[in-house]
Amino acid sequence: MGVVNVTPDSFSDGGAFEDEVAAIAHARRLVSEGAAIVDVGGESTRPGADPVPAPQELARVLPVIEGVADLKLPVQISVDTMKLAVAEAAIDAGATYVNDVSAFRYEPELASLVAERGTDCCLMHMLGEPRTMQDDPRYDDVVDDVKAFLHVRLKAATDAGIAEERIQLDPGIGFGKTLEHNLELLRRLDELTTLGRPIVIGTSRKSFLGRLTGRDVTERVHATVATNVIAFERGARVFRVHDVAATADALTVTAATFARWPPIPTRTTTTTT
Ligand code: HH2
């Protein structure tokens, strides 16, 4: 899943793709690098971010979703939103995946929309809300607590009529979690796979990687790749990243090693070693 943030204030790429032409070109590049899903977002959820009113969020994402849909790329278009009005217009414009970091708690009617329209969705764990979520987050056991939350939200989604096979689950790395919480979730990610749905993981460029490596947000590609390799080995199957090329290569090797997929190497190179 490649990230296309159409925002002025996203934590790692804010302002880079505010112009719709640049955002559409970026989506095309991410697909050429191996993305199977492009996730278009118009509201930053970084710690301390201010909420964006629906009309403004819509004005940001809609032209980009329309533009990417017009390209008819072999890719699924996702809208990263908590808002019913934004998701509805995005689906009308060609989105077939709703990535809701509130797991349908912000606007519960969004679950009914996803059910009616038959789109895929991602339900993510977040402790609190973006403005305050990093203020001393606490858990009894972070993995058990996140798992219990995802179980409840999965049930709420199926109760709203969403087919279970349309639902993916995400522990929400960095959303109300300390460095230790994030690492514990990665280390024990396999415990979430027993929920029976594909696990999505979003570590890309996040601040816990900066705390570990001392690197600035633009220099966290290697650390991001490491976390995604770990996550694959622990059972994750959707990887939300800004740096698709590096992650796709690493996951190709990881998948061939741990999942024996694809069964036969399919690429040729110019060297023999
Ligand atoms: N992380 C971010 C946004 N959306 N969605 C899912 N499912 N999982 C995540 O981990 C996740 C997400 C935050 O990253 P980014 O979009 O790069 O930043 P910002 O929220 O500042 O736009």
pLDDT in tens, 29-57: 999 999 999 999 999 998 888 889 999 99
Rounded to an integer, the average pLDDT of 209-229 is 98
Residue 232 contacts residue 260 (beta carbons within 8 Å):
no
Q: What per-residue confidence (pLDDT) applies to 46?
A: 87
Residue with tokens 């689906």, as numbered in its chain:
91
Query: Measured from the CA of 203, which atom of ligand 1 is nearest?
Result: 10
- Ligand 1 centroid–CA 202 distance in Å is 7
Q: In what order do the strands lie in the sheet with 76-80?
A: 2-5, 37-41, 76-80, 97-100, 120-124, 167-170, 199-201, 236-239
Alpha carbon of 22 to ligand 1 centroid (Å): 19
Q: Rounded to an integer, what distance in angstroms lies between the CA atom of residue 5 and that of residue 12?
A: 9
* Ligand 1 center from residue 249 Cα (angstroms): 22
The answer to whether residue 18 scores a pLDDT higher than 90 is no
| Residues 193 and 199 sit within 8 Å (Cβ to Cβ) | yes
pLDDT at 47: 83
Q: What is the DSSP letter of 31?
A: H
206 given a catalytic annotation: yes
Q: How far is the CA of 206 from the centre of ligand 1 (A)?
A: 9
d(CA 252, CA 109): 38
* Among protein residues, the one whose CA lies closest to atom 9 of ligand 1: 202
pTM for the complete prediction? 0.95
The answer to whether the CB of 209 falls within 8 A of the CB of 248 is no
Catalytic residue among 83, 153, 206, 234: 206
Burial (Cβ within 10 Å: 0-12, 13-18, ≥19) of residue 14: middle
Q: Is 28 one of the annotated active-site residues of the chain? A: no
Task: Confirm if 190 and 235 have CB atoms less than 8 A apart.
Answer: yes
Residue range 69-77: average pLDDT?
Answer: 97
Q: What are phi and psi of 40, to 5 degrees?
A: -100, 125
Q: How many Cα atoms within 13 Å fall on the side-chain side of residue 195?
A: 31
Q: In a 3-state reduction of DSSP, which class is residue 139?
A: coil
Distance, in Å, from the CA atom of 5 to the CA atom of 42, rounded to the nearest integer, reads 6
Output the ligand 1 site: residues, CB below 6 A: 3, 5, 7, 10-12, 41, 44-46, 80, 99, 101, 122, 124, 170, 172-173, 200, 202, 240
Give the number of the atom of ligand 1 that is nearest the alpha carbon of residue 5. 22
Round to whole Å and give the CA distance between 40 and 64: 8
* Residue 115 Cα to ligand 1 middle (Å): 23
The beta strand positions in 179-235, using DSSP E, are: 199-201
Nearest CA to ligand 1 atom 15: 10
Rg of the chain, C-alpha, whole Å: 18
Across residues 73-87, what is the average pLDDT?
97
Best CA proximity match to 93, nearest among 108, 113, 79: 79
Mean pLDDT (whole number) for 242-266: 89
Tokens of 43: 């509201």
Integer Cα distance of 132 and 121 in angstroms: 25
> Which atom of ligand 1 is found nearest the CA of 206?
14
The mean per-residue pLDDT over the stretch 212-231 comes to 98
- Average pLDDT in the chain: 94
Condensed to tens digits (0 to 9), the pLDDT of residues 93-141 reads 999 999 999 999 999 999 999 999 999 999 999 998 887 878 888 999 9
Predicted confidence (pLDDT) at residue 150 exceeds the cutoff of 80: yes
| Atom 11 of ligand 1: nearest residue by CA position | 202
